[in-house]
Structure 1
Amino acid sequence: MDAKAWLQRRQVAVYAVGVALAVGVGVGRPAVAPAVEELIDPVLALLLYVTFLEVPFVRLRRAFRNRRFMAGALGTNFLVVPVVVWLLTRPLPNRPALLVGAFMVLLTPCVDYVITFTDLAGGDAEQVTAATPALLLAQLVALPAYLWLFVGPTVASAIEPRPFVEAFLLIIALPLALAWLTEAWAERSRRGASWQTAMGWLPVPMLAVTLFVVIASQLTRVQDSIGQIAAVVPVYVAFLVVMPLVARSVGARLDLPVAERRALVFTSVTRNSLVVLPLALALPAAYQLAPAVVVTQTLVELAGMVTLTRVVPRWLVPEPDR
């Protein structure tokens, strides 16, 4: 068995090791957190580069033209999810920083490790990958609008658009362009083909490294404010329970194939905590609690994803009886 196959079969264990190491560093060496935080953007960009390389662009273009799935992904994430989030957050205390952190992460669909977890559950990872640019552009427009609607214009005006634009260009557009250039190089050069093959075993370890960097850099914030942010944990858990059921219903109404229904479930429930975190860190000092609220969602979601990779293919969206 080659390294890539070995890693794919044991990827959940690899991610668990990354999280465990991050907790160890965050607790034992909190002084290194600022230095580790500087690695978030480059590590995330590299993760997406090797992830995009996994899907040939010929198939990616074909997947992007799947109008039913794209309509389902955009409609569920930007019409249904805001209603669900609004209802779930009604019991939360009226603390702007707490609410902003929760809204920022829950209103933004994931564009990175959702691809991995979709694949683990037997979903159509190509469709999720194809939807990534559209989902990120849509949240760039929708997030300020929903923050204005949910918490008022004063809070919404504190959200700078520049970090979101930079996140799109550096974390999504640049890796996507480099992956396309790499595929073109691999088609014309043996050296390019060797490079692409070598990159093929990196998605799993790079996701583990990304989780390590995010959690190790932010764990101190979570520990210092656990009493204030504990209230959002039930909201995050409820979201993990409600949205898979909603997405399954939407997929059935759109009459999507099984693999696409599973993909719709994961793109509807997995949130964009890794990309949103730099935006939360850029908020004014009055919202310094927001990054800890975002990272708390990451910790809750990872446990939920491990569960959903088993629940979705076995019970929620199983293969039809033959």
Structure 2
Amino acid sequence: MRGDSGPSSLLPPDWQAALRRRQVAVYGVAVALAVLTATTTPSAAGTVEAFLDPVLSVLLYVTFLEIPFVRLREAFTNGRYLGAALGLNFLAVPVVVWVLAQFLPSDPAVLVGALLVLLTPCIDYVITFTDLANGDAEQVTATTPLLMLVQLLLLPVYLWLFVGPDVAGVVDAGPFVDAFVTIIFVPLALAWLTEYWAERSTSGARWQAAMGWLPVPMLGVTLFVVVTSQLPRVRSAIGEFAAVVPVYVAFLVTMPVLARVVAHALDMDAGEGRALVFTSVTRNSLVVLPLALALPPEYALAPAVVVTQTLVELAGMVALTRVVPAYLVPERAPDGPTEQSD
């Protein structure tokens, strides 16, 4: 991904660069295969779903390996970015969601599912998408513990404000904690240990270099697992909540523009601005899905509503990895004005 992975990599540097340039094609093939598998063999969904957390953990591990930990420590001290990310996710997003919620069906299960996913910022593959768009993945990584903690505290408050105390009281925080440990903390700790090993051992450096080609294929595998495991759940109730799709698309369009405005107002560089865009638009669907599944029977549609957001978002993220660096937050020219990246 970033930089030269060196002669010890499993793939030559030019192959890795070609893989990165063709990442959208890789993701397209992964999604097409997933749709084919889900439609022809829907019974495979349960088996494939069991691989979701392990696949996400590997994806985050190979992504974290690309982040020098000295940069990660520096990122924790960037109060401007941290404040902007928190403000967008927990002040601006709830306002946007409240407006969009007026266009949702009146079914409480649909409303709760949409609110669960739209009010919670992503803590996992947002890092990978930010990196693929040449954004500051270190900043996103440094923000994840805060985003996790604040959404855990504020989600019941927002649900209470939007739909009343009854729903807020049945949401269990357990899946949030489990996801943070298995998907964020463990891969991050393993990446730190790998970096420590690589600095002191030739075999460690070889291992780290060999992992350099994996982020793009692993994101393709993640897309395959997510779509294959969740598409049957969506298809079974598609006629009842198709109205949420335009709301999700509107969110995907609105938040990048708001983040771009904030990044410009704060005079952020391109890397920070792109990171702010992705952290404001990407939602925590894979973590809140267990919360939706744990809701009472009268909210049986909520998981399908959450999964629908996942599918809409994944398509949007693949597009945004190109749109954000090329048009929305391009690199600045040396004399100040922005110019489009290739």
**In the alignment, is the contact (CA less than 8 A) between 2:66 and 2:212 conserved in 1?**
yes
Which digits, 9 at most, give the CA deviation of each residue in 1:100-150, with x for residues without a partner?
211111111122322233233332222122222222222222222211221
Q: Which amino acid aligns with 1:200?
A: G
**Distance in 2 separating the partners of 1:43 and 1:30:** 20
| Residue 218, structure 1, aligned to residue 230, structure 2 | yes
**Distance in 2 separating the partners of 1:280 and 1:47:** 24
Which digits, 9 at most, give the CA deviation of each residue in 1:43-89, with x for residues without a partner?
11121111111101111111121110111011100111011001111
1:36 paired residue among 35, 41, 48: 48
Residue equivalent to 1:300: 312
Task: Kindly report which structure 2 residues correspond to 1:90-239, keeping only aligned pairs within 5 A, or say none.
Answer: 90-239=102-251
Q: Which amino acid aligns with 1:21?
A: L
Q: Which amino acid aligns with 2:101?
A: T
| Residue 258, structure 1, aligned to residue 255, structure 2 | no
**Distance in 2 separating the partners of 1:49 and 1:282:** 28
**In the alignment, is the contact (CA less than 8 A) between 1:115 and 1:125 conserved in 2?**
yes
**Distance in 2 separating the partners of 1:124 and 1:102:** 29
**Distance in 2 separating the partners of 1:130 and 1:49:** 15
CA spacing shift, 1:192–1:283, aligned 2, 3 Å: farther
**Distance in 2 separating the partners of 1:125 and 1:251:** 15
Q: Which structure dedicates a bigger proportion of its chain to helix? A: 1
**Distance in 2 separating the partners of 1:113 and 1:172:** 10
**Distance in 1 separating the partners of 2:212 and 2:331:** 28
Aligned structure 1 segments of 4 or more residues deviating by more than 6 angstroms: none
**Distance in 2 separating the partners of 1:75 and 1:227:** 36
Deviation at 1:206, TM superposition (A): 1.4
Residue equivalent to 2:97: 85
**In the alignment, is the contact (CA less than 8 A) between 2:60 and 2:124 conserved in 1?**
yes
- Unpaired runs of 5+ residues, structure 1, are none
Deviation at 1:36, TM superposition (A): 1.3
Residue equivalent to 1:68: 80
Alignment RMSD (CA, Å): 1.7
Residue equivalent to 1:23: 35
**Distance in 2 separating the partners of 1:286 and 1:216:** 26
Between the aligned residues of both structures, percent identity stands at 70
- Unpaired runs of 5+ residues, structure 2, are 1-11, 336-342
Greater shift in the superposed pair: 48-57 or 112-121: 112-121
Which digits, 9 at most, give the CA deviation of each residue in 1:256-288, with x for residues without a partner?
122211221111111122222233233333322
Deviation at 1:313, TM superposition (A): 2.9
Which digits, 9 at most, give the CA deviation of each residue in 1:11-43, with x for residues without a partner?
111111111111111100011111111111121
Q: Which amino acid aligns with 1:283?
A: L
Which digits, 9 at most, give the CA deviation of each residue in 1:149-187, with x for residues without a partner?
211111112211111111111111111111111111111
**Distance in 1 separating the partners of 2:261 and 2:98:** 20
**In the alignment, is the contact (CA less than 8 A) between 1:163 and 1:282 conserved in 2?**
no
Q: Which amino acid aligns with 2:251?
A: F
Give TM-score, length-normalised by structure 2: 0.89
